[in-house]
Structure 1
Amino acid sequence: MFSPLVTFPALYIATLLMLAGSGLFTTYIGLRLTEQGVGDFWVGGLMAAYYLGLVFGGKLGHRLIANVGHIRSYVACAGGATVTVLVHVLTDHLGVWLVMRFVMGIMMMNQYMVIESWLNEQSENHQRGKVFAGYMIAVDMGLVVGQGLLAVHPALDYKPLILVAICFASCLIPIAMTRRVHPAKLIAAPLDLKFFWQRVPQSLVTIFAAGLMVGAFYGLAPVYASRNGLDTAQSSLFVGICIVAGFCSQWPLGWLSDRFDRCKLIRGNAVLLCLAAIPMWGLYTLPYHLLLATGFLTGMLLFTLYPLAVAFANDHVESERRVELSAMLLTTYGVGACIGPLLSGALMNQFGPGMFYILVSVYAVILVLWVQPRFVTGEHRLDEAPLHHVAMPDTVSPMAATLDPRVDEVPEALMVDAPPSIGPSTDSPPDEKTKGQ
C-alpha cells in the first residue's frame, strides 16, 4: 500500500522544519514588538510585507527554478531566509525589518514551489490525494511545533531568532541529501481575472475575505492575546490552539462538503463565525480557559473558509483550468492577506485589541450578504460536481493545485519537458462566453 510518509520523508521533513521556523518567527515578531510598545499598525505592516513577498515570489520563483533548478533554488532561498532572520538579531530598525519580511515572503514562496512541484512529479495521479494529505499534515504540524518552541522558550530575546535560523538551516539537510529524481522545470501559470470573476465570483470574494482574516490572524493574534494579559507562553498556546482547531475541522468539513450544498455551507460557516467572534470583541474580560475555548471555535470556522471556497470554485471550472484557477485564488488570497493585517493593525492601534475580532465578524457578515444560493445560476456547474472535497492549507503556492486529486493531469502551462508518466493535458480551455456561478 502506498505510503507518502515513507516515500517522501525528505520533502515532508523539510516542510515541517520550514513551517516550524516560519510559525515561530511570525508569533515572535508580534509579541516582541508589542513588548517594546510598537504600534499594532507596524505589526500588521510587517505581516502585510510578508504576504506581498509571497505574491511577488510566485512570479520570481518560476524564473529562478527554471534558471538554476529545484535543489539550487531551494538551497539559495533557504540560505537567504536564514540570513534574513539573523539580520533581525543585528538591528531593531523597523524599516529594515519591513524589508526583511518582504524578502522572507519571496524566499518562502520559492521553497513552497520547489517542494510542491517535486511532490507532484514524483506521485502518480491516483496517489495525489494521499501525497497532498501528507503535505498538509506536515504544514500544520510545522506551524504547531513553531508555537510549541516559543512556549518552551518564552523569553523574547534573540534566542528564539536563533531557533528560527536553526529551523531554516536544518530544512536544507533533507533536500540536499535526497536521492530522488529532480522534477522538470516550470513556467508560470497564466491568470485570467475576467474569466474567473465571471465564472466563480462568490469563491473569489470568499477567498479574499479569508485572506483578510487569516493574514491578520498570523500577524496580530499574538498581539491580541498579549493585549488581553497573556504572557508569551500563553499567547503562543492560544495561537497554536487556533491552528490545531483549523486542522481538526478540515476532514469533518470535507465530509459535509461532499454531501451538502457548498454555497450554503460557506454562508452557514460565515454566520457561525460572526457569532463565535462576538465574545472576543473585548466587551468583557474572558478567563484564560474560556479564551482558549472561544479561540478554538473561531479557528475551526476561520480556517475552513478557504478550502470550502476552493472546492466550490472547482465545481464550476473545467479540470484543464484548475491549476490556473489555483493561481488566481492564491493571488486573490495574497492580496487580501496584504490588506488584512494593515487594516486590523490600524484599527487595533486606535480602538483596542477587540477590533481584531470585530473585523472578523464584519467580514463574516459581508460573506453572508454576498454568498447566497439564489445568486448561483448553476450554468457552468460541472456534470460530476460536487467534486470530492480536498482539505487545503492556506500556506501553499499555485503549484499545490497539481497535487490536488481533482486535477487529472498536469497542464502543459506548468510543465516543460515533463516525463511521459505525467502527460500534459491536450484539451484547450473553453472559449465560450461565461456568466456567474
Structure 2
Amino acid sequence: MIDSIRAVFSLIASFFILMTGFGLANYAVPLRALGEGWTATDIARIGAVYSVGYTLASFVTPRFIRATGHVRVFAANIALMVMSVLLCALVAEVWAWMLFRGLFGFAIAGTYMIMESWLNEKSTNEYRGSMFSVYMITAMAGSIGGTYIAPFGDVMAPVLFIIAAIILVSAVFPIALTAASTPSAPTGVGFDLGSLWRRSPVAFAGTLLSGVIAGAWLNFSAVYARLSGLTETGGANLIAAVTIGSIAAQFPLGRTSDFIDRRMVMVFTCALGIVAAGWMVLLDGRYEYQLYIAACMIGMAIFPIYSLNVAHANDMAEPGEYVRISSGITVLYGLGIIVGPLLAGEAISFAGPRGLPAILLVFFAIYAGYASYRIMRRPPAVRNAPPLS
C-alpha cells in the first residue's frame, strides 16, 4: 500500500491544497450570505444550484477527459473555481451567486471524478478502502486548514475570497509538474445507473443518501453554528470538530472494510451518526464543548460513508470502467446534494438550528435500515486484504 501512495503522492498533494481553498470558500460563502441579509431559503437555493452544477459535471467531464486527458481537465476545473470565488467577491446578488456557485459545483465535481478515477486505477480491491481513506483524510485535513483561515478576515470584505482563489490556483502545481504516469483514457464516456444499481444497490442508494447528508451539512453548518449562538471562532471550532472526527475515523473504517463486509461498516457508521445527530438536537451554543464532542462524533459518519460507498461500487469494476462508475456516483451524489440543502433550509426555517441535525438523523436511519436489509439479501464480496507494507 505504501508503494501505491507514493505513486499518487502528487495527486494527494494537489488535493490537499485544493481542499484548503475549498474549505475557506465553503465557510466564507454562507456567512457572507447571512451578512448580506439573505434568508435560509436564499442560501438553500444557492446550495441547490451548486448541486445542479455538480450533477451536470457527470455528463460533460468524462468527454473532456477522453478528449484531452486528466491533467488538462484538472487545470481547467481549477480555473473555473478561481473565477467563481473571485466573482462572489465582486457581485453580492442572490441570482449572481446562484450562477457562480453553480460553476464552482461543476468544477469541483469534475475534479473529484479525476481524482477518484485516478486513485481507482492505482488501487487494488485489497487496498481500495484504505486508499480512499487516505484520500478523504487529505480532503478533511485541507478543509480544516481552510476553515481556520476564515476567522482572521472579514467575510464582508473581498480578502478571504482572494486568499481562497490563490490557494485554489496553487493546487495546479503538484499535478502539472509530476513525472508519474497518468491514468489511461476511459473506455466509455457515459454512465449507466442501471448497471451501477445491479452491481451494488447499497452503493447506489448509499451514494444518493450520503449526498443528501453531506449537502445539508456543508451548506448549513456555518449557518447552524451562528444560529446556535456560537461566535465565528466557535463556528470554526464546530466545523473543525466534524473534520477531526472524520480524519480520526476514515482510515480505521476504510481498513476494516478491506477485511469484512463493507456494508457492515456502513451500518456501524450510520448508527454512530444517528447517536451524534440525536445528541446535537438537544444542544445549543450554551453547551459549547458538548456540541464540539457531538460534532466530532457526527464527523465520523458524514464523510466516511462516501468513501465506503465509492470503494464498494468499484470493487467489481474493470480498469476502463472507473470513469464511467465515477460519473454514475457523481450523478447520484449530485442529486443528493441538490435535495439536502433544500430539506435542511426548510427544516431550519421550521425548527430553528435544531432542524439541521434532525434531518441528518432521519437520513442516517434510512441509510442504516437499507444497508441492513441488503446484508440479509446478498452475501459480501470476497476479499483478502494483505497486511500494510
Decide: shared fold, TM above 0.5: yes
**Change beyond 3 A, Cα 1:143–1:267:** same
CA displacement at 1:120 relative to structure 2: 6.3
Residue 166, structure 1, aligned to residue 177, structure 2: no
In structure 2, distance between residues paired with 1:206 and 1:127:
21
Q: Which structure is larger by alpha-carbon Rg, 1 or 2?
A: 1
Instruction: Tell me the distance in 2 between the aligned counterparts of 1:73 and 1:322.
Output: 18
Contact in 2 for aligned 1:50/1:101 (Cα 8 Å): yes
Q: Is the helix fraction higher in 1 or 2?
A: 2
| Counterpart residue identity of residue 77, structure 1 | N
Cα 1:15/1:371, change in 2 over 3 Å = closer
The two structures, once aligned, show a CA RMSD in angstroms of 3.3
2:22 matched to which residue of 1?
A: 22
2 CA distance for matches of 1:309 and 1:109? 16
Task: Go from structure 1 to structure 2 and tell me whether the alpha carbon gap of 1:16 and 1:91 turns closer, same or farther (over 3 Å shift).
Answer: same
Q: Distance in 1 between matches of 2:181 and 2:86?
A: 32
Q: What code does the residue aligned with 2:161 have?
A: L
Partner of 2:99: 99
The verdict on how the C-alpha distance between 1:287 and 1:175 changes in structure 2, with shifts beyond 3 A counting, is same
**AA matched with 2:11:** L
Residues 221, 239 of structure 1: 8 Å contact kept: yes
In structure 1, the residue matched to 2:57 is 57
Cα drift, residue 31 of structure 1: 1.5
User: How far apart, in 2, do the equivalents of 1:113 and 1:344 lie?
Assistant: 26
Instruction: Give per-residue Cα distances to partners, 1:74-126, cap 9 Å, x unaligned.
Output: 333322221221111211011111011111122223333445555666x5869
2-structure distance, mates of 1:182, 1:374: 36
Aligned pair count reads: 384
The C-alpha deviation readout for 1:283-334, integer Å capped at 9, x for no partner, is 665421111111101111222333344455567x565797354443332222
Distance 1:309 1:132 in 2: 10
**C-alpha spacing 1:329/1:116, structure 2 compared with 1 (3 Å):** closer
Q: 1:100 to 1:261 in 2, by over 3 A?
A: same
Worse overlay, 369-378 or 92-101: 369-378
Return the offset for 1:191: 3.1
1:365-404 alignment, distance < 5 Å: 365-373=365-373, 376-378=376-378, 381-382=380-381, 384-385=382-383, 388=385
The whole-number CA distance in structure 1 between the counterparts of 2:5 and 2:374 is: 43
Q: Secondary structure at the match of 2:157?
A: coil
Q: What does 1:88-127 correspond to in 2, within 5 Å?
A: 88-116=88-116, 123=122
Q: How many Å separate the matches in 2 of 1:34 and 1:190?
A: 39
Equivalent in the alignment of 2:216: 216
* 1:247 shift after superposition: 1.9
Query: Contact 1:151 / 1:237 at 8 angstroms: preserved in 2?
Result: no
Q: Which residue number in structure 2 is paired with residue 300 of structure 1? A: 300
Question: Which position in structure 2 is the counterpart of 1:343?
Answer: 343
SS of alignment partner, residue 353 of structure 2: coil
TM-score in terms of structure 2 length: 0.85
Inter-partner Cα distance in structure 2 for 1:214 and 1:371: 18
Alpha-carbon offset, residue 347 of structure 1: 2.2
Distance in 2 (CA, whole Å) between partners of 1:242 and 1:326 is 26
Distance change in 2, residues 1:388/1:250 (3 Å): farther
Distance in structure 1 (CA, Å) of the matches to 2:197 and 2:286: 41
CA deviation after TM superposition for structure 1 residue 260, in Å: 5.2
Give aligned-pair identity as a percent. Answer: 25
Whether the 8 Å CA contact 2:58–2:109 is kept in 1: the answer is yes
Range with greater deviation from structure 2 (278-287 or 337-346): 278-287
CA distance in 1, matches of 2:71, 2:319: 28
In 1, the alpha carbon distance for the partners of 2:135 and 2:189 equals 21
What is the one-letter code of the residue matched to 2:172? L
1:35 corresponds to which residue?
35
Alignment partner, residue 251 of structure 1: 251
- d(CA) in 2 for partners of 1:58 and 1:132? 20
The verdict on how the C-alpha distance between 1:84 and 1:260 changes in structure 2, with shifts beyond 3 A counting, is: closer
| Structure 2: runs of 5 or more not aligned | none
Matching residue of 2:240? 240
Structure 2 CA distance for partners of 1:190 and 1:376, relative to 1, 3 Å: farther
Tell me how far 1:262 sits from its aligned partner. 4.4
Whether the 8 Å CA contact 2:90–2:158 is kept in 1: the answer is no
> Is contact 2:196-2:313 (8 Å) kept?
no
